[in-house]
Amino acid sequence: MKAIAVVPTYNEIENLPRIVELIRAQPGGWHILVVDDGSPDGTGRLADELSARYAGELFVLHRTKKEGLGRAYVAGFQWVLARPDYEVIVQMDADLSHDPEYLTPMAEMLKEHDLVLGSRYLNGISVVNWDFKRLLLSKGASVYVRMITGMPYSDATGGYKAWRRNALAAVGLDQLFSNGYLFQIETTYRLHRLKKYSIGQTSIIFRDRDLGRSKIDMPIILEAVWGVIRLRLTGR
């Protein structure tokens, strides 16, 4: 099964070369799709240079402006689904918080599941370099999502996820309403509600970024708070 990692970027010029090398070092012949939202720091140009260096392995999708993580992933997923060779699609951050060493183990789990969630909270708390305030916010968000949606997963807000092609196609990418990090919750919830798909979890260690700046801000947080209620009330 051909596998591809979808990596959205916005001002990740410091992290992009390293994440590309680490993904390429994993067993299984991983391809990479960089989805750049018009980064003013030159991330998109660097991605093009890397694509020329690793022709046939690394691809770049340029978007003209920053519209949110969810919109970037939708564009990337649609690009992948338009190419029938890819059966395994993994979404991950560009800032090295998601260790590429988990790529192949998560893909292996897709032999038994349709979606695999990389969880920071499956076996206690597996987070490095977060202060107490951020940890409390993240853990509280996970509890909040479980309470409102009824999903049993330990980390439905996480962004390290491996999809089987048919499961990703079943989510209905053109019907998603989320723009920011709510996207992570909405896609899992939509698959969860379909009942016929298996969703597994595996423990990961999440390491906060060393370089660059976090993209989370108050509008993104508020979208997630109200969006979860909307998901529960409307079922979509």
Q: According to the model, what pLDDT value does residue 10 have? A: 96
Residues, the chain: 236
The range of the structural domain enclosing residue 148 comes to 2-234
Asked whether 3 and 30 are in contact (CB, 8 A), the reply is yes
Q: According to the model, what pLDDT value does residue 210 have? A: 56
Q: Please, what is the average pLDDT of the chain?
A: 90
Element (H, E) at 148: helix 132-149
Q: According to the model, what pLDDT value does residue 188 have? A: 96
Confidence of residue 229 (pLDDT cuts 50, 70, 90): confident
Q: Where are the alpha helices (DSSP H) in 25-122?
A: 43-53, 69-81, 103-109
Half-sphere exposure of 166 (CA within 13 A, CB side): 8
Does the pTM surpass 0.95? The reply is no
Strand locations in 161-205, DSSP E? 161-164, 199-203
Span 63-89, mean pLDDT?
Answer: 95
Confidence of residue 197 (pLDDT cuts 50, 70, 90): very high
The CATH number for 77's domain is 3.90.550.10
Domain count, the chain: 1
Q: Map residue 200 onto helix, strand or coil.
A: strand
Q: According to the model, what pLDDT value does residue 1 have? A: 76
Backbone angles phi, psi at 19, to 5 degrees: -65, -35
